[in-house]
């Protein structure tokens, strides 16, 4: 399918003109003119209730956005992804995280291999291993059962596992302790293991490439910690497993490849939490709950694949985010889960959205002439309300918000849950409709304070509501955001599946590492700022401990 460049598509041009008039409108008036829109601009799919009526959109906006999706070939590219075509063009790879959650009886041949059969072969190995750890059958080197599981990885090899563990803690085997080490800052490792017994600790070294400096540095320290305490190199066999696509490097590190769980180059790091990278999740919640999570992912995949665009949840979520960013000019999106278990979801979504769509060239290498990926950020409610919501309500930058809420708490306690959820609805209402001078005056507010208390409103939000957090629901939620990222990336015509932008910093740090040792005398040939920073760091390192600052 040959496409016009994005700014030349008729829907894009129509949306640009339409945005001019929409910017002069207010959600108060839009609701006044269309009082039933709250019952109309909503969608129910895969158990989710999606209210998008509080966006600055009309039926015309929505029709144009859907036209844009059609003119951008969203459905065709989606089908190409599901068929295993190499839609990751800059790395010449298929993009098949959807195959990770396909049922066993749905073969999918890619480049001559049934990838679904491979997925289920690895899932079976993961299940057997997870059960062995959970039951105490897998013993450490000295014969003690494993009580602590430490996932060592970074980026997609950390954020998915830690987010999923925290999200599904309620379903976890509580006798086991889970820790996640990602940062190359030694503090992360030292604090993670300081109260753990090495004899009862299993490390999962998670790295797609097995070449990531942070992970290998932490893994090396973990191996030394085990070998030093257990005084036997052979202990590695019982205390280390690897998750990777790279068997050679796993073996070179010293982990027996029989203790390696594989995945494939068609799984992007940030799309890997339900692959073997989810081994810690499976140990925590058990294979049955893990399967339920996969089913949730798959249900959203099927919906994305088959629902008409206008009733397609990821399509609508993606198009509305694009409308807010490209046409209304809002630079960020706030994701506010009103559930403490989802407290790492915003961090997870930051990698998913920004590593995917933070790109400035199109698939054919042209510099874009429009904005691509917005900044995603967030915190769980209601904590955020008592820190940055002030800016969201009255600041000069508008922040479209995705509220995520559940009708039932996993920990029902008194009035807590109704209080929590009342805040979701209240915040969305306040953002949209605000408070006028007239309303304040009618309430008897003093004239001097009225300008400070006026809430302009007209701030868009979505509400995603479902019954209860579960492994299935988490899977469907993650798949929803994955596909909404896909929709946006497809319209922008960028490669949402590569991440070249992270490479330069990595290369430069490898050059700088030897320059930081105090006895190093290599000629520094960076810019004057970097040279001076390095020199100053070296001289600070040589000074004694500064007890006054403790």
Binding residues for ligand F6P, per CB under 6 A? 153-157, 207-209, 212, 215, 269-270, 355, 499, 502
Provide the minimum distance between the beta carbon of 266 and ligand F6P in the complex, in angstroms, as a whole number: 14
- Would you say 5 or 209 has its CB closer to ligand F6P? 209
3-state secondary structure of 501: helix
CA distance 393 to 362: 35
Q: Which two tokens stand for residue 240?
A: 């280390």
CB of 210 to ligand F6P, least distance (A): 7
**What DSSP line would sit under 395-427, residue for residue?**
SSS---EEEEEESS-SS--TTHHHHHHHHHHHH
Q: Which region holds residue 444: left if phi is over 0, alpha if psi is between -120 and 50, else beta?
A: left
Smallest gap from Cβ 364 to ligand F6P, in A, equals 23
Q: Which is nearer to ligand F6P, 212 or 461 (CB)?
A: 212
Max Cα distance, the chain (Å): 78
Q: Which is nearer to ligand F6P, 146 or 149 (by Cβ)?
A: 149
Can you give the C-alpha Rg of the chain in angstroms? Answer: 25
Query: 61 vs 246, which CB is nearer to ligand F6P?
Result: 246
Catalytic residue at 355?
Answer: yes
Two tokens at 255? 């982990």
CB of 6 or CB of 219, closer to ligand F6P: 219
> Based on CB atoms, which residue is closest to ligand F6P, 199 or 355?
355
Q: Report which DSSP code applies to 327.
A: I
Nearest CB to ligand F6P, comparing residues 215 and 490: 215
We find the least distance from the C-beta atom of residue 153 to ligand F6P, in angstroms, to be 6
Q: How far apart are CA 23 and CA 173, in angstroms?
A: 51
Q: Which helix (H) or strand (E) holds 71?
A: helix 59-71
Contacts 24+ apart (CB under 8 A), 391-399: 392/334, 392/431, 392/459, 393/430, 393/431, 393/434, 393/455, 393/459, 394/455, 394/456, 397/330, 397/331, 397/332, 398/328, 398/330, 398/458, 398/459, 398/460, 399/330, 399/332, 399/333, 399/334, 399/459
386 belongs to the catalytic site = yes
CB 203, min distance to ligand F6P, A? 15
- Work out how close the CB of 446 gets to ligand F6P at its nearest, in angstroms, rounded to a whole number: 54
Catalytic residue from among 32, 175, 367, 386: 386
Which three-class secondary structure state does DSSP give residue 363? coil
Set 416, 506, 536, 541: catalytic member: 506
> Rounded to the nearest whole angstrom, what is the least distance from the CB of residue 277 to ligand F6P in the complex?
8
Least Cβ distance, residue 243 to ligand F6P (angstroms):
9
CB 398 within 8 A of CB 357: no
Q: Are 421 and 465 in contact (CB under 8 A)?
A: no
In whole angstroms, the minimum distance from the beta carbon of 343 to ligand F6P comes to: 20
Active site residue 506: yes
Question: Cα–Cα distance between 50 and 422 in angstroms, integer?
Answer: 17
Instruction: Give least dist CB 125 to ligand F6P, A.
Output: 19
Token pair belonging to 513 = 């590492």
Whichever of 155 and 493 has its CB closer to ligand F6P, that residue is: 155
| Cβ–Cβ under 8 Å, residues 466 and 473 | yes
Burial (CB < 10 A; 0-12, 13-18, 19+), residue 507, is exposed
What residues form DSSP beta bridges with 461?
401
Give backbone dihedrals phi and psi of 217, rounded to 5 degrees, phi first.
-65, -45
Tokens, residue 524: 């520094």
Alpha carbon distance, N-terminus to C-terminus of the chain: 64
Cα dihedral 477, 475, 353, 192 in deg (nearest 10): 120
User: Is residue 446 exposed (0-12), middle (13-18) or buried (19+ Cβ within 10 Å)?
Assistant: exposed
CB closer to ligand F6P out of 166 and 355: 355
- Residue where the block lists tokens 């932008």: 501
Catalytic entry in 166, 200, 274, 355: 355
Least Å from the CB of residue 91 to ligand F6P: 11
- Tell the burial category of 367 from Cβ atoms under 10 Å away from its Cβ (0-12, 13-18, 19+): exposed
Q: Which C-beta is closer to ligand F6P: that of 159 or that of 432? A: 159
Beta bridge partners of residue 243, listed in sequence order: 206, 261
Q: Residue 153 or residue 381: which is nearer to ligand F6P going by CB?
A: 153
Active site residues: 355, 386, 506
């Amino acid at each position: 399918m040959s496409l016009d460049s994005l700014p030349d598509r008729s829907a894009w041009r129509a949306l640009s003109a339409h945005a001019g008039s929409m910017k002069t409108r207010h959600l108060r008036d839009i609701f006044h003119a269309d009082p039933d829109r709250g019952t109309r601009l909503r969608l129910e799919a895969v158990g989710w209730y999606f209210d998008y009526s509080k966006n600055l959109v009309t039926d015309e906006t929505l029709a144009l956005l859907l036209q844009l999706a059609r003119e951008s070939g969203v459905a065709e590219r989606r089908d190409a992804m599901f068929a295993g075509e190499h839609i990751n063009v800059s790395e010449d790879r298929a993009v098949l995280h959807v195959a990770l959650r396909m049922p066993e009886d749905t073969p999918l041949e890619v480049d001559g291999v049934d990838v679904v059969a491979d997925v289920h072969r690895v899932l079976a190995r993961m299940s057997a291993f997870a059960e062995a750890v959970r039951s105490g059958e897998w013993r450490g080197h000295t014969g003690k059962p494993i009580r602590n599981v430490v996932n060592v990885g970074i980026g997609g090899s950390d954020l998915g596992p830690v987010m999923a563990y925290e999200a599904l803690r309620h379903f976890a085997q509580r006798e086991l302790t889970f820790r996640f080490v990602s940062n190359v800052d030694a503090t992360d490792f030292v604090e993670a293991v300081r109260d753990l017994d090495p004899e009862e600790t299993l490390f999962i070294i998670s790295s797609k490439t097995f070449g990531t400096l942070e992970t290998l540095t932490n893994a090396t320290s973990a191996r030394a910690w085990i070998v030093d305490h257990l005084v036997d190199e052979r202990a590695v066999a019982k205390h280390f497993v690897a998750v990777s696509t790279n068997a050679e490097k796993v073996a070179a590190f010293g982990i027996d490849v029989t203790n390696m769980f594989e995945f494939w180059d068609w799984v992007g790091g940030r799309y890997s939490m339900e692959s073997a990278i989810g081994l810690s999740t499976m140990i925590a919640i058990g294979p049955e709950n893990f399967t339920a999570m996969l089913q949730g992912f798959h249900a959203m995949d099927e919906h994305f694949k088959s629902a008409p665009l206008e009733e397609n949840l990821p399509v609508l979520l993606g198009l509305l985010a694009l409308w807010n960013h490209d046409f209304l000019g809002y630079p960020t999106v706030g994701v506010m889960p009103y559930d403490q278990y989802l407290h790492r979801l915003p961090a997870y979504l930051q990698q998913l959205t920004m590593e995917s769509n933070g790109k400035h060239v199109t698939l054919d290498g042209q510099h874009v002439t429009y904005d691509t990926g917005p900044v995603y950020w967030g915190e769980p409610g209601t904590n955020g309300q008592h820190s940055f919501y002030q800016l969201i309500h009255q600041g000069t930058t508008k922040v479209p918000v995705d509220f995520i809420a559940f009708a039932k708490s996993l920990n029902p306690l008194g009035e807590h849950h109704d209080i929590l959820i009342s805040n979701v609805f209240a915040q969305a209402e306040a953002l949209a409709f605000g408070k006028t001078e007239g309303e304040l005056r009618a309430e008897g507010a003093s004239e001097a304070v009225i300008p400070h208390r006026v809430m302009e409103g007209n701030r868009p939000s979505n509400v995603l509501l479902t019954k209860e957090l579960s492994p299935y629901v988490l899977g469907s939620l993650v798949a929803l955001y994955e596909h909404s990222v896909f929709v946006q990336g497809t319209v922008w015509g960028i490669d949402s599946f590569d991440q070249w932008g992270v490479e330069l910093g990595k290369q430069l740090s490898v050059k700088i590492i030897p320059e930081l040792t105090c006895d190093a005398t290599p000629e520094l040939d960076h810019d004057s700022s970097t040279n001076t920073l390095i020199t100053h760091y070296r001289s600070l390192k040589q000074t004694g401990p500064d007890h006054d600052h403790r």
